[in-house]
Amino acid sequence: MAHTTIAEKVDRRDGRVIRAERRRIERRATILHAAESVFAQRGYHAASVDHVIKAAGVSRGTFYLYFESKSAVFLELLDGFSFRLMSAIEVVDASAPDAWIRVLSNLQRVVGLLVENRALAAVLFRSAVGLDETVDQRLERLHAHWRKMLVGALENGAARGMVRAVNSELVATALIGSIKETLIEALIKADKTVHVGELARTLMDLHLSGLRPR
């Protein structure tokens, strides 16, 4: 009778470990995907762990092996998508001759990500605050980060003569609110095909071109 060598035993054990890890990764991804759909359809507050469990086709025990609460799975979705959005934005040198073209390219990349991930866009833009302190704090930090980026861009642009000098704090807040509502209308409420280039150019014309020096 052939004897199993130590190397063969190690290979078998490693194979089982790899397969188990792959199953854990796949199961976690399944829960996240189901939660994304549930939050997009119901909103954060109306969604429940039971809704996510049913959509994912897993047991309650399995859900809690990966996430301790509804807010935990929501925050992972929020953090992952926010990182992808931030990664799509490249720093623009306001003194470069093609600065406005680069700004438009940034907008096109962000809008393209939102169009490709409408469910996540709905989760990000439609999530109301007021019932979960942890989620509220994370959303506020995210919005504060966006405001800080816009304030810096406006001040840098004004210093370089790219835009008019304005109250950068107020204008940044106004831009975020206006762009957010525009994207909700285009990506979430409207049941039609969205043309990324057209939407990006419209946003730029409406919200940025008006700041150019007169």
| CB-based contact 162:94 (threshold 8 Å) | yes
- 83 and 176 co-located in one domain: yes
159 and 95 share a domain?
yes
Residues 16 and 95 reside in one and the same domain:
no
- Residue 98 and residue 191 in one domain: yes
pLDDT tens per residue, range 120-176? 787 777 665 665 777 788 878 888 888 898 898 888 888 888 888 889 999 988 888
* Whole-number Å distance between alpha carbons of 16 and 10: 10
| C-alpha to C-alpha distance for 97 and 44, rounded to whole angstroms | 44
Check whether residue 46 and residue 85 sit in a common domain: no
Boundaries of domain holding 208: 74-214
**Residue 38 and residue 83 in one domain:** no
- Which of 14, 37, 67 terminates a domain? The answer is 67
pLDDT at 73: 93
The mean of the pLDDT values for the chain is 83
Contact in structure between 73 and 67 (CB atoms under 8 Å)? yes
Let me know whether 87 and 119 are in one domain: yes
Q: Let me know whether 49 and 102 are in one domain.
A: no
CATH number, domain with residue 52: 1.10.10.60
pLDDT tens-digit profile of 186-202?
A: 877 666 677 888 888 88
CA–CA gap between residue 178 and residue 207 (Å, rounded)? 8
Residue 96 above 90 pLDDT?
no
Tell me, yes or no, whether 199 and 106 share the same domain. yes
Tell whether pTM > 0.75: no
**Quick one: average pLDDT of 27-46?**
89
Reported as half-sphere exposure (CB side, CA atoms, 13 A), residue 142 has a value of: 20
Task: List the CATH number of the domain containing 79.
Answer: 1.10.357.10
**Cα separation of 181 and 190, whole Å?**
12
Of 67, 86, 120, the position where a domain reaches its end is 67
Domain C-terminal end among 67, 82, 113: 67
User: Based on the domain organization, do 49 and 84 belong to the same domain?
Assistant: no
143's tokens: 């919005």
How would you write 168-202 as a 3-class SS string?
HHHHHHHHHHHHHHHHHHHHHHCCCCCCHHHHHHH
Name the burial class of residue 119, with classes exposed (0-12), middle (13-18) and buried (19+) by CB atoms within 10 angstroms of its CB. Answer: middle
* One domain for residues 29 and 132: no
Number of folded domains that form the chain = 2
Are 106 and 170 part of one and the same domain? yes
- Res. 30: pLDDT tops 90: yes
